[in-house]
Amino acid sequence: VHPGKMNFKVVHEALTHLNGKDGSIDWKIIGPMDPQGNPHHVKLLQELDDPWIEFTGRVNNLNNKEFQRQLAGMTAMVLPFRNKTGSNGTAPSRSSLQIAWAFGLPVVASSPIDDEPDLIDGENCLLVDEEDSTAWSVALERILNDRALREKLRKGSLVAARRFGWDRLAEEHTRIYETISN
């Protein structure tokens, strides 16, 4: 949970717009929070103080059954990565994206700066302009209201997860070792 890494403001604007219609959306922000030691966290907690926002704190154990239950019950994962110098923005190497894919979650993420062939807009994610709250709102509303799109993105997430899973990595390492030994 770092403002330099994530653009929370644009997602907050988008969700505020959507929640204005019926107030039924909850936003869980997962990550470490240290308001006593981090002035960015204090500011973030002040800016995002709506009753429909929950800061869950750090999750140290992805095998935690309660955390897995919460993830499985989510409608979508929102990844508003900042695309700036020194940051790779949205990329398949991001652990939060890998977790979303592993749980088959539809993903809405900032469009990456560089071409990322593993991010397929409309297949395993919806990519939006990092700074455009209207684009975030439209993408989130599509996921909320279009069951077929949600299912397509869920299936695409699981396919993407298999490409980066341990089984495929083990196969690739075996192939490389066999190539070297020949």
Taking each helix axis from N to C terminus, what angle separates 133-145 and 147-164, rounded to the nearest 10 degrees? 100
Q: What pLDDT score does 143 carry? A: 95
**Is the pLDDT assigned to residue 80 strictly greater than 70?**
yes
**Is the pLDDT assigned to residue 119 strictly greater than 90?**
yes
Q: What pLDDT score does 163 carry? A: 86
The model's confidence at residue 155, banded by pLDDT at 50, 70 and 90, is very high
Q: Who has greater pLDDT, 99 or 20?
A: 99
In this structure, the number of other CB atoms found within 10 A of the CB of residue 102 comes to 17
Which of 84-88, 111-115, 125-129 shows the lowest mean pLDDT across its residues? 84-88
Q: What pLDDT score does 126 carry? A: 97
Q: Over pLDDT 70: what percentage of the chain?
A: 88
Give the global pTM: 0.83
Q: What pLDDT score does 150 carry? A: 96
Q: Residues with Cβ < 8 Å from 182, sequence gap 6 or more? A: none
Q: What is the DSSP letter of 111?
A: P
3-state secondary structure of 53: strand
Q: What pLDDT score does 5 carry? A: 75
Average pLDDT of 140-147? 95
